[in-house]
Amino acid sequence: MGENGDGDGLAENVGQRFDRLPATADERRVEGRVSREEVCTYFEERFGMPLETFEEYTFWEKGSGRIWIYAGEAPTPTSVEALGMTCLRTRQEHWKPTTDFVARFGHHATRCVIDLTREQAARFVRGEDQELPWDGDWGYLIAACELAGEREPLGVGLYVHGEFRSMVPKGRQRALE
Amino acid sequence: MEPLERYRPIIDDFEAFLEACARPLPSVVRVNTIAASLERATAVLREEGVEFEAAAWNPHVLRLTDDAQGPGSTWVSFCGMTHGQEEVSAVPPVVLDPQPGERVWDACAAPGGKATQIAALMDDCGTVVANDSNLGRLSSLRFNAERLGASALAVTHQDARNFSLKPFDFDEFDRALVDAPCSCEGTIRKNPDALDGWSEAHLESVSGVQKGILRRAVQATREGGTVVYSTCTFAPEENEAVVDYVLDAEDCHLREIEIDLEHSPGITAWEGETYDERLERAIRLYPHQNDTGGFFVAKLEVGS
Ligand SMILES: C[S@@+](CC[C@H](N)C(=O)[O-])C[C@H]1O[C@@H](n2cnc3c(N)ncnc32)[C@H](O)[C@@H]1O
């Protein structure tokens, strides 16, 4: 069973274990699994993160469409609780980066970053939606605000129809000023 | 507080010790260098008007001197630049001294204060295997690891006493930390009811688990590698006695610990038992010495 399973047929995605993403789509053995190349290209095209950012990392899938980024060593497949951090959901129409990935790697982004004032940022980290002007692409954006003179990525929001919806998970929301 | 009376013979200035145990703990955060440099994190704290003082022994450990807001309700904390962590709980990873690129095992890792500190000390580069046997606590560990951006950290759910490296493609670690489950007497300042239900019978059963985990950690670490054993308790049954047992049972020896914090040496005799003399190299951190919680730390090197 698994990635190197039964010959030409695509194997099933096994939910309880981690599989390393194939380097490219041609090496794909599991139906619907994205490749490392597609993930890096997405981060580069959507957020302008240079491809080199991810040179030292591997990408993994556990369960359907949950992609993890990991800096350590592990064989594929492997059975553990977590490898590094979840970074992206791919099995939905629009791919969605996680808040924690953005907090960790968002400073490499050069596009689709929406700069919030401190009040807007406070609403964002409380988990609230807000009306905001934005003339870039719609969809998932990196929310940032200035802290001590530097831009700081905060998390992910969804921009549609003039509204910016906070995607900060419940457990990460905070009441700040 | 009554169970603490049994330590009167081994603690200098026992009255000051009891007094310190009755006071609440100062609020302390550790700067998470995975998310921000010390300069950046402190600049944001200052901008937020949070007053702090760096610990003399470790510039990344900050005591919040006016903690009206609580350590979690700041922008630095939201951004993962700081993590609330008791001051002496930051000692074992410093003693472990992990290096970037190494393979490190944290045998009892949840909720992850020390595992994420280990990842930060390694510049988030190498492999930190953070293990715990309690699934509920593992979810806090995962939450903290992701919030702090520890990407070199893998999480496993095993009984550390018979930990298997099967999920990995290497068969030994460079270093291991055993921050063991214990009777938690040293957390009395944080949890005033930490001593409820205390009994000598409990000490005996928990020390059996501690011995099993520490043995496995020595076995899983390469020749010349480092194993640190720590607890947040005062009971010699859970500290020196455990290390003494493993010194006999496995191939390892005690190393000196250098740390710029007031402390007492490990003890070599307790209630009729005697331990290896080199247990004086272990350290006991008492609440009245540095205005912290209590901790015990021993540093072992694998091999003779
Ligand atoms: C003192 S706490 C660890 C705190 C952690 N090192 C930190 O800094 O956040 C001890 C942990 O040991 C775990 N534990 C207890 N027995 C265990 C065993 N046999 N194997 C692995 N973990 C165990 C408990 O679930 C608990 O989370």
Could you read off the pLDDT of B269-294 as tens digits, one per residue? 999 999 999 999 999 999 999 999 99
pLDDT for the residue A14: 55
Atom of ligand 1 nearest to the CA of B209: 19
Instruction: State the distance from the centre of ligand 1 to the C-alpha of B192, rounded, in angstroms.
Output: 21
Query: Which chain B residues are closer than 8 Å to A72 by Cβ?
Result: 126-128, 151-154
What's the mean per-residue pLDDT of chain B? 96
Give the CA dihedral B40, B154, B223, B253, nearest 10 degrees.
70
* pLDDT reading at A52 higher than 90: yes
What single-letter amino acid sits at B298? Answer: A
Nearest CB to B149: which of A57, A104, A176?
A104
What single-letter amino acid sits at A94? Answer: H
Subunit contact A85:B40, Cβ cutoff 8 A: no
Residues of chain B with pLDDT under 70: 67-71
List, in order of start, the domains of chain B with CATH numbers: 2-25+86-302 (3.40.50.150), 26-85 (3.30.70.1170)
Subunit contact B147:A172, Cβ cutoff 8 A: yes
Cβ contacts of residue B32 below 8 Å, gap of 6+? B41, B80, B81, B82, B83, B116, B120, B148, B149
ipTM over 0.90: yes
Contact between B106 and B129 under an 8 Å Cβ cutoff? The reply is yes
The alpha-carbon gap from B130 to the nearest alpha carbon of chain A, in Å, equals: 9
pLDDT for the residue B121: 98
Q: Where are the alpha helices (DSSP H) in chain A?
A: 36-47, 99-105, 118-125
Contact between A90 and A13 under an 8 Å Cβ cutoff? The reply is no
Rounded Cα distance between B118 and B100, Å, is 10
**b/e sequence A102-127, b meaning 16+ C-beta within 10 Å:** bbbbbbbbeebbbebeeebbbbbbeb
pLDDT for the residue A30: 83
Nearest CB to A82: which of B35, B46, B154?
B154
Subunit contact B35:A103, Cβ cutoff 8 A: yes
pLDDT for the residue A12: 53
Contact between A59 and A105 under an 8 Å Cβ cutoff? The reply is no
- The residue ranking higher by pLDDT, B122 or A30, is B122
What's the mean per-residue pLDDT of chain A? 91
Instruction: State the distance from the centre of ligand 1 to the C-alpha of B208, rounded, in angstroms.
Output: 14
pLDDT for the residue A65: 87
pLDDT tens track for A117-165: 999 999 999 999 999 999 999 999 999 999 999 999 999 999 999 999 9
Atom of ligand 1 nearest to the CA of B163: 20
The alpha-carbon gap from A138 to the nearest alpha carbon of chain B, in Å, equals: 24
The alpha-carbon gap from B45 to the nearest alpha carbon of chain A, in Å, equals: 9
Rounded Cα distance between A125 and A164, Å, is 12
Show the tokens assigned to B231.
Answer: 């607890």
Nearest CB to A171: which of B75, B103, B143?
B143
Contact between A86 and A66 under an 8 Å Cβ cutoff? The reply is yes
> What is the value of pTM for the model shown?
0.95
Q: Phi and psi dihedrals of A134, rounded to 5? A: -165, 125
Residue B184 annotated as catalytic: no
Whether residue B108 lies within 8 A of chain A, CB to CB, comes out as no
